[in-house]
């Protein structure tokens, strides 16, 4: 063997041999079983053992939490890799990170500490600690121990029992000292067969244990709403403590409000700056109504939403004058600015907290996790008006879907009121299309007009505002084309951009190729090439409900002119499907020398629950059959 | 391609700060502030009328690059300072949104605590100029959020800057400076080769690029595609060069564009070397380190010749790999000898870089071109194989006449035997050495004999063989059986590829076992676990390990095939396939065709209309490129392709019993142009409809005036892909 080959061979052997570990037949068997069950995974959790201790920090006079997690991973494949991650923020710190192999030897693996990049949030103090696990053989096990200290019980409000990996066995143990009393509010534990047991340890502490076996990984389905809708978890709510704490524990909704109110009362707006700006805004206004609109619109137009979550600033608003001068703020900052500006103009506007439809909770639970948003509530002319400063291009009379029907905690001096935000009808978000076509050669030529209202309009305006001005024309054209290069656009016209008083209208002349096919003396015409919802079959393996962005109505009225020398021999059958969540109506009808096509798709609800998927898929199949059919004309 | 190009600029100047820690050393920042906002402050400029409809207008922009030794900090420190200064007028909301926030990430930098000697420091300043001319400097102390994850541990930093009170109509003036003091490992420090495009997302009124160096540093720089020349700044400031440019339109993104060959840009590099040594790995640069006083703007024939001779005569210290000792059968033909040499080298390369090649594509390694050329030169000369070295450029990146830095020289080994010519540019496991890498096909270059040597033994001009469109071919064959009752089509699919373009699919479809089998069948056994002399217990474990990896590869391959089929035929539903088989790997020169076959079923193509059935027969061609009216009518760039190519489709559709077919005539089209063609013929053959199409792109470059020719045959193919066949019940 030549020198070269020898060197290569040694390198080759070394590349494998350094990782050889003791792996038993049972380990390999378990790995094979898990791989069969979870083919997409190369690593699984063999066990999760979490111990949560509640301690009293005498120096800070706070109840703190020490969470020790022992996670045993098993490789389901050779050469598997996995980044084991735990998150932390300003309210806690990682005290210990260790990695052990099966011989219980500690491994020298340097954890990576880095910031977490959350989509849509400009700045968050959420960080992660990651340990890269490298397995050489199938069945190999590595154990990771994280110890995390949460400085204040207030910020330790939830435990999830599902992970990003499938898990063979999970035990989470809470050790509650005698001086503390906690309530555990379970979500979906029965669905996942997670059992709770209670005992007392030798120190007299109550030990609550949640145990689950064979837990699948958390689902990765789009449009599922927030994790609180589908992940098995418990919320941890304090009931009482015999220790005297610096701040009272949040044990009730009153307590939750009191804490928010305390933070809110620490704000000291510079009314000089605020008043000057408000006076300038309302100067031309002739009525209170105009003043409210002017201030609301000014905040929409001039303050940029910038999500900011750092420490206490995740809960406390920035000063109104800061938001006004910086021209950006998060929802708290924008809501507070609107409150202060409306107050300055003499209106009764109040800071309000709520959880959007991303969360499944309401204010019956006294916890920081039940809300995630702030808006302004205006009491005006005996009515309650909910003003969301972050919902750009949505006028006062429209309420964004994400806050409709949600409980809202409205500040009322040093008290609060729980109100419910009204639910609006789907036709508030109407997208209408009117078109008329006639045949030119084998092309369909005609005028098309779109009209957008409500959130259909605000979504479009928000999108346009994010584009360069010179890209707007392409964007408008693509509304007609829907990325189909068979469609040519001319005479494009549109209404005034960002105007909220009327629906936004868009019209064009279109020439559509390849939708009419000639077979000898017959013409086959595709009557709908947009085909809303076609191919929207929900896959069998989806485990979570489907959450839609908003209730809405899409209406389409299309007229096809029949050429004089042709007669109609086939018109597709109508479709009419009316379900609790949606309505689909499609109808083609010959009237004189025209065929009228009318279509309506209404989403009456934003959630299609898992048990309704079969019905949904049947609907999509029927709808696809409807679209697949064609109009047939024959030469007279 | 343009994205990649932009990435390069960004990497260098703007977001290079992303990967390093962000520290504000007040004193030094004050100096930069003074430099950018006082001594070198931008002059007022008028915005040309034509730029006013843009989202933003860059009023002024400057890039500075400076390299110098830092002997005061140690014998092996080089300082590279790159700075970016821009003044931009924001004319719409999108513009304001883009420039309101700056996000700067850090990594696990450990040297940041020692600020004086720290490896990386970044400085920045921002100010807003309102319409009335009032300037407000942004106090970074108030708005900067620098977040260092967990103190005292390996950490990364995150820095966020949100510019306050920025509104439409404002001008933002900011600078970001990166000062990097690298501890170099070798006697020569090779700086990154940098590219700065003079066109960008927004129009630019005035811009400059300044590069400078101090002693022991070598600067190379060249302006491309009509970019203004870079010139010495003044006699007083030796080693400082500047380019100034005015009124550049925003760059437009279009299909089939190569900005490297079309858009004006400047490319440059700084190198530090006290004395050019011939040591690994920087020794290949030594012939180009001739003068620290002059700016290098070209490579001379003399330099290229000396570099070529370095490779062909191989100095031991130039590379770290041993030369394979290959024994050849004396009676073997030249072709057999070449086969053995190249496959033996390939085998050695694979053994050297382990089996990670197949299972961890990101860890793939091989000899670089210099190393490959040295190794092959030695072996070919030893065995007296007719061969030469060819020095050229990547055709998609640089013309030969524009060659000016070592970084951009491509080295190929040309081998001639039995009337065949091979151009070897790499010894990757899957590349077929009988095929020319499209990056070099048709290129001009310089050739130096390896064996036999000519008397003069000097570089001579040469043109590398141009590959024809029919040599880069993809043939797709489909046999379609229609399930009239089930509305499902069963399709037998066969794909053959030859020439450029097949490698990407080979990487995803050919596994270790396929390769070993093919290699062993055609050449010799590779060193593998199965044939190794490892202990049996270890061998057993390793065999299981490889079996697992191969299984994982097989799953990935399956996903790749599904994804490709769904994309090719625009299938939106779930898709499963069966009977996948690689009929020919295409890696061995005897048969260069990569061929595989499979079958699948889909509901996608057939539907019932009245009492008849319609088949989306055109869709069986696969997705065809198309252009919107806007794209067709506003072509601004010339047209570039990486290689000429041919696509063939043979579609055989069985006519169901009791039905007759209508609409065949629509599938007979023919559109021929100078630049390419599309033809389709359809006929009834027995109980089948057979559609045969050919689409050819003849050129790698066409002037934009010929765009309509492309549109004519491309549209013809697109329109055909939208056509149907009607299956009518025979009454």
- In order, the DSSP letters of B68-126 are EE-GGG-TTEEEEEEEEEEEEEE-SHHHHHHHHEEEEE-----GGGSTTT-SEEEEEEE
Q: Band of the pLDDT at B4, cuts 50, 70, 90?
A: very low
Q: Does A7 touch chain B (CB under 8 A)?
A: yes
Q: Say how far apart CA A575 and CA A531 lie, in whole Å.
A: 13
**What's the mean pLDDT in A233-246?**
95
Q: Band of the pLDDT at A213, cuts 50, 70, 90?
A: very high
Residue B271 has pLDDT above 90, yes or no: yes
Per-residue pLDDT reduced to its tens digit, B627-667:
999 999 999 999 999 999 999 999 999 999 999 999 999 99
Per-residue pLDDT reduced to its tens digit, A214-225:
999 999 899 999
Q: Say how far apart CA A508 and CA A478 lie, in whole Å.
A: 11
Q: Give the pair of three-digit tokens for residue B611.
A: 């009492």
Q: Give the pair of three-digit tokens for residue A160.
A: 């999830």
Cα-flanking dihedrals φ and ψ of residue B210, to 5°? -125, 130
**What's the mean pLDDT in B90-119?**
64
Q: What is the pLDDT of residue A71?
A: 97
Best residue in A29, A318, A468 for a mutation probing chain B (most B CBs within 10 Å)? A468
**What's the mean pLDDT in B188-200?**
94
Give A114's contacts in chain B (Cβ within 8 Å): 149, 155-156, 158
Tally the C-alpha atoms within 13 A of residue A324's C-alpha that lie toward its C-beta. 22
Residue of chain A whose Cα is closest to the Cα of B151: A113
ipTM: 0.86
Q: Say how far apart CA B261 and CA B257 lie, in whole Å.
A: 9
Per-residue pLDDT reduced to its tens digit, A392-406:
999 999 999 999 999
Separation of CA B139 from chain center = 41
Give A132's contacts in chain B (Cβ within 8 Å): none
Per-residue pLDDT reduced to its tens digit, A119-171:
667 777 788 889 999 998 889 999 999 999 999 999 999 999 999 999 999 99
Least confident of A98-112, A444-458, A598-612: A98-112
% of chain A at pLDDT higher than 70: 95
Q: Does A273 touch chain B (CB under 8 A)?
A: no
Residue B530 has pLDDT above 70, yes or no: no
Taking each helix axis from N to C terminus, what angle separates A331-344 and A271-282, rounded to the nearest 10 degrees? Answer: 70
| Cβ proximity of B251 and B263 under 8 Å | yes
Q: What is the pLDDT of residue A470?
A: 86
Q: What is the mean pLDDT of chain A?
A: 92
Residue of chain B whose Cα is closest to the Cα of A324: B165
Cα-flanking dihedrals φ and ψ of residue B227, to 5°? -65, 145
Per-residue pLDDT reduced to its tens digit, A492-539:
999 999 999 999 999 999 999 999 999 999 999 999 999 999 989 999
- C-alpha pair distances (Å), A503 with each of A426, A493, B626: 15, 14, 33
How many CB atoms neighbour CB A406 within 10 A?
A: 22
Query: Which of residues 475 through 514 in chain A touch B, CB cutoff 8 A?
Result: 477, 481, 485-486, 488-489, 513-514
Query: Which of residues 547 through 586 in chain A touch B, CB cutoff 8 A?
Result: 569-570
Residue A19 has pLDDT above 50, yes or no: no
In this complex, the residue of B55, B160, B662 whose CB is nearest that of residue A520 is: B662
Give A32's contacts in chain B (Cβ within 8 Å): none
Q: Band of the pLDDT at A104, cuts 50, 70, 90?
A: low
| Cβ proximity of B299 and B403 under 8 Å | yes
Give A620's contacts in chain B (Cβ within 8 Å): none
Q: What is the pLDDT of residue B105?
A: 58
The C-alpha torsion from A285 through A287 and A292 to A293, rounded to 10°, is: -60
Tokens 């400057």, residue located: B62
How far does B492 lie from chain A, in Å, by closest CA?
Answer: 24
Check CB contact under 8 Å for A12 and B551.
no
Q: Say how far apart CA A323 and CA A261 lie, in whole Å.
A: 19
Q: What is the pLDDT of residue B183?
A: 75
Q: What is the pLDDT of residue A303?
A: 95
Q: What is the pLDDT of residue B215?
A: 87
Q: Say how far apart CA A457 and CA A336 lie, in whole Å.
A: 26
Q: Say how far apart CA A111 and CA A591 lie, in whole Å.
A: 73
Instruction: Show the DSSP H helices in A105-156 as ranges.
Output: none
| Cβ proximity of A374 and A351 under 8 Å | yes
Give B139's contacts in chain A (Cβ within 8 Å): none
Check CB contact under 8 Å for A77 and B166.
no
Per-residue pLDDT reduced to its tens digit, B694-727:
999 999 999 999 999 999 999 999 999 999 999 9
Check CB contact under 8 Å for A4 and B322.
yes
**What's the mean pLDDT in A415-426?**
97
**What's the mean pLDDT in B382-390?**
95
Check CB contact under 8 Å for B100 and A304.
yes
Q: What is the pLDDT of residue B474?
A: 97
Residue A14 has pLDDT above 50, yes or no: no
Q: Nearest to residue B662, comparing CAs of A284, A521, A39?
A: A521
Q: Band of the pLDDT at B181, cuts 50, 70, 90?
A: confident
Render the burial of A129-163: b for 16+ CB within 10 Å, e for the rest: bebebebbbbbbbbbbbbbbbbbbbbbbbbbebbb
* B700-705, Cβ contacts within 8 angstroms, sequence gap of 24 or more: B700/B395, B700/B442, B700/B640, B700/B641, B700/B642, B700/B643, B700/B644, B701/B261, B701/B638, B701/B639, B701/B640, B701/B641, B702/B638, B702/B639, B702/B675, B703/B638, B703/B639, B704/B635, B704/B636, B704/B637, B704/B638, B704/B639
Q: What is the pLDDT of residue A119?
A: 65
How far does B316 lie from chain A, in Å, by closest CA?
Answer: 15
Residue A465 has pLDDT above 60, yes or no: yes
Check CB contact under 8 Å for A115 and B153.
no
In this complex, the residue of A125, A302, A465 whose CB is nearest that of residue B94 is: A465
Q: Say how far apart CA A63 and CA A85 lie, in whole Å.
A: 26
Q: What is the pLDDT of residue B1?
A: 38
Q: Say how far apart CA B514 and CA A244 lie, in whole Å.
A: 71
Q: Does A179 touch chain B (CB under 8 A)?
A: no
Tokens 């007392």, residue located: A200
Beta strands in B454-536, from DSSP E residues, in sequence order: 460-463, 473-483, 488-498
Q: Give the pair of three-digit tokens for residue A466.
A: 């994010």
Tokens 């379900």, residue located: A579
pTM of the model as a whole = 0.88
Residue B680 has pLDDT above 90, yes or no: yes
Check CB contact under 8 Å for B153 and A113.
yes
Per-residue pLDDT reduced to its tens digit, A580-628:
999 999 999 999 999 999 999 999 999 999 999 999 999 999 999 999 9
Q: Between the ranges A567-571, B161-165, B320-324, where is the mean pLDDT highest?
A: A567-571
Render the burial of A584-615: b for 16+ CB within 10 Å, e for the rest: bebbbeeeeeebebebbbbbeebbbeeebbee
| Cβ proximity of B331 and B340 under 8 Å | no
């Amino acid at each position: 063997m030549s020198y070269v080959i020898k060197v290569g061979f040694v390198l080759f052997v070394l590349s494998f041999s350094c990782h050889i570990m003791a792996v038993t037949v049972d380990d390999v068997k378990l790995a094979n079983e898990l791989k069969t069950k979870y083919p997409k995974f190369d690593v699984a959790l063999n066990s999760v053992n979490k111990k949560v201790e509640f301690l009293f920090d005498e120096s800070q006079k706070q109840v703190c939490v020490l969470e020790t997690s022992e996670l045993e991973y098993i490789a389901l494949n050779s050469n598997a890799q996995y980044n084991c991650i735990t998150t932390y923020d300003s309210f806690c710190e990682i005290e210990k990170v260790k990695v052990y192999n099966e011989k219980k030897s500690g491994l020298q693996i340097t954890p990576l500490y880095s910031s977490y990049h959350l989509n849509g949030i400009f700045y968050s103090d959420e960080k992660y600690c990651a340990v890269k696990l490298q397995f050489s053989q199938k069945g190999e096990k590595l154990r990771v121990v994280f110890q995390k200290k949460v400085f204040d019980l207030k910020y330790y409000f939830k435990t999830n029992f599902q992970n990003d990996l499938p898990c063979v066995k999970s035990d989470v143990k809470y050790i509650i000292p005698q001086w503390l009393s906690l309530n555990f509010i379970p979500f979906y534990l029965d669905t996942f067969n997670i059992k709770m047991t209670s005992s007392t340890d030798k120190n007299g502490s109550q030990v609550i244990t949640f145990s689950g076996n064979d837990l699948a990984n958390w689902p990765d389905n789009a449009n599922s709403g927030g994790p609180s809708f589908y992940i098995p978890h418990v919320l941890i709510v304090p009931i009482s403590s015999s220790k005297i704490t610096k701040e009272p524990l949040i044990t009730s909704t009153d307590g939750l409000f009191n804490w928010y109110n305390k933070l809110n009362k620490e704000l000291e707006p510079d009314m000089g700056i605020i008043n000057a700006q408000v006076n300038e805004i309302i100067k031309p206004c002739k009525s209170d109504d105009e003043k409210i609109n002017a201030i609301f619109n000014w905040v929409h137009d001039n303050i940029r939403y910038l999500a900011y979550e750092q420490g206490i600033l995740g809960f406390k608003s920035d000063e109104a004058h800061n938001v006004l001068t910086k021209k950006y703020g998060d929802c708290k900052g924008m809501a507070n600015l609107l409150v202060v500006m409306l107050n300055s103009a003499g209106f009764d506007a109040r800071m309000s907290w709520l959880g959007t439809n991303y969360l499944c909770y309401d204010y019956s639970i006294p916890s920081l996790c039940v809300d995630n948003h702030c808006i302004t509530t205006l009491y005006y002319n005996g009515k309650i008006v909910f003003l969301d400063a972050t919902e750009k291009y949505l006028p006062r009379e429209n309420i964004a879907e994400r806050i409709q029907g949600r409980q809202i905690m409205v500040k009322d001096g040093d008290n609060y009121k729980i109100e419910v935000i009204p639910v609006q009808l789907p036709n508030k978000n109407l997208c209408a299309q009117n078109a008329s076509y006639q045949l030119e050669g084998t092309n369909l030529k005609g005028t098309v007009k779109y009209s957008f209202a409500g959130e259909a309009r605000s979504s479009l305006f928000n999108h346009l505002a994010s584009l360069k001005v010179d890209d707007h024309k392409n964007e408008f054209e693509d509304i007609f084309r829907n990325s189909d290069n068979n469609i040519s656009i001319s005479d494009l016209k549109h209404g005034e951009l960002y105007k909220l008083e009327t629906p936004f209208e868009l019209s064009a002349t279109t020439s559509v190729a390849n939708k009419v096919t000639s077979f000898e003396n017959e013409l086959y015409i595709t009557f709908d090439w947009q085909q809303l919802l076609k191919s929207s079959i929900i896959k069998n393996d989806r485990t979570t409900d489907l959450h839609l962005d908003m209730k809405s109505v899409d209406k389409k009225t299309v007229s096809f002119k029949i050429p004089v020398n042709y007669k109609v021999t086939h018109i597709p059958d109508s479709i009419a499907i009316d379900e609790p969540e949606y309505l689909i109506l499609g109808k083609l009808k010959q009237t004189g020398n025209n065929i009228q096509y009318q279509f309506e798709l209404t989403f009456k609800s934003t959630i299609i629950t898992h048990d309704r998927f079969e019905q949904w898929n049947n609907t999509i199949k029927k709808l696809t059959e409807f679209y697949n059919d064609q109009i047939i004309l024959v030469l007279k | 391609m343009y994205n990649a190009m932009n990435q390069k600029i960004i990497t260098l100047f703007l977001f290079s700060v992303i990967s390093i820690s962000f520290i504000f050393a007040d004193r030094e920042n004050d100096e930069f502030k003074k430099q950018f906002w006082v001594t070198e402050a931008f002059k007022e400029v008028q915005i040309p009328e034509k730029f006013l409809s843009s989202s933003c207008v860059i009023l002024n922009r400057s890039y500075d690059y400076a390299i110098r030794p830092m002997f005061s900090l140690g014998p092996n420190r080089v300082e590279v300072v790159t700075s970016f200064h821009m003044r931009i007028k924001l004319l719409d909301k999108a513009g304001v949104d883009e420039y309101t926030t700056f996000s700067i990430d850090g990594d696990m930098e450990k040297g940041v605590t020692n600020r004086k000697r720290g490896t990386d420091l970044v400085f920045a300043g921002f100010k807003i100029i309102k319409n009335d001319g009032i300037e407000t400097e942004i106090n970074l102390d108030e708005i900067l959020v620098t977040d260092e994850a967990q103190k005292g541990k390996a950490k990364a930093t995150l820095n966020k800057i949100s510019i306050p009170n920025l509104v439409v109509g404002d001008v933002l003036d900011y600078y970001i400076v990166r000062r990097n003091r690298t501890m170099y490992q070798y006697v020569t420090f090779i700086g990154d080769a940098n590219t700065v495009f003079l066109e960008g997302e927004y129009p630019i009124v005035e811009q400059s690029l300044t590069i400078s160096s101090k002693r022991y540093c070598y600067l190379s720089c060249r302006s491309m595609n009509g970019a203004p020349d870079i010139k010495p700044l003044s006699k007083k400031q030796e080693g400082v060069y500047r380019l100034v440019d005015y009124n550049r339109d925003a760059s437009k993104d279009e299909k089939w564009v190569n900005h490297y060959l079309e858009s004006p840009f400047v490319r440059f590099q700084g190198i530090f070397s006290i004395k050019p040594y011939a040591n690994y790995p920087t020794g290949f640069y030594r012939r180009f380190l001739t003068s620290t006083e002059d700016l290098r703007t070209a490579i001379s024939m003399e330099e290229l010749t000396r570099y070529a001779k370095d490779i062909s005569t191989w100095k031991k210290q130039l590379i770290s790999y041993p030369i394979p000792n290959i024994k050849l059968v004396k009676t073997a033909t030249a072709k057999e000898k070449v086969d053995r040499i190249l496959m033996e080298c390939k085998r050695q390369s694979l053994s050297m870089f382990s089996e990670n090649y197949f299972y961890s594509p990101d860890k793939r390694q091989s000899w670089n071109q210099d190393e490959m050329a040295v190794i092959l030169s030695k072996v070919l000369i030893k065995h007296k194989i007719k061969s030469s070295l060819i020095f050229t450029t990547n055709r998609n990146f640089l013309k030969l006449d524009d060659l000016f830095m070592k970084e951009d020289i491509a080295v190929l080994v040309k081998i001639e035997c039995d009337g065949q010519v091979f151009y070897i540019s790499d010894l990757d496991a899957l590349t077929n050495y009988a095929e020319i890498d499209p990056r070099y096909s048709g290129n001009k270059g310089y050739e130096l004999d390896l064996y036999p040597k000519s008397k003069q033994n000097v570089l001579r001009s040469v043109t590398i063989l141009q590959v024809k469109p029919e040599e880069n071919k993809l043939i797709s064959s489909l046999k379609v059986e229609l399930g009239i009752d089930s509305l499902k089509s069963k399709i037998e699919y066969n794909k053959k590829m030859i020439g450029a373009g097949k490698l990407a699919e080979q990487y995803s479809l050919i596994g270790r076992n396929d390769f070993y089998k093919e290699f062993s069948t055609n050449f010799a056994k590779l060193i593998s676990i199965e044939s190794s002399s490892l202990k049996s217990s270890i061998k057993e474990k390793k065999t299981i390990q490889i079996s697992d990896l191969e299984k994982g590869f097989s799953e990935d391959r399956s996903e790749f095939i599904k994804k490709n089929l769904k994309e090719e035929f625009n299938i939106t539903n779930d898709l499963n396939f069966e009977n996948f088989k690689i009929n020919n790997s295409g890696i061995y020169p005897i048969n260069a065709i990569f061929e595989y076959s499979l079958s699948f079923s889909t509901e996608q193509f057939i539907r019932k209309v009245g009492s008849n059935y319609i088949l989306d027969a055109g869709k069986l061609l696969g997705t065809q490129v198309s252009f919107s009216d806007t794209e067709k009518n506003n072509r601004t760039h010339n047209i570039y392709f990486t290689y000429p190519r041919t696509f063939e489709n043979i579609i055989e559709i069985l006519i169901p019993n009791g039905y007759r077919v209508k609409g065949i005539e629509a599938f007979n089209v023919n559109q021929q142009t100078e630049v390419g063609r599309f033809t389709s013929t359809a006929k009834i053959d027995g109980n089948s409809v057979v559609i045969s199409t050919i689409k050819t792109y003849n050129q790698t470059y066409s002037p934009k005036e010929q765009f309509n020719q492309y549109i004519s045959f491309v549209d013809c193919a697109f329109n055909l892909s939208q056509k149907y066949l009607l299956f009518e019940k025979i009454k």
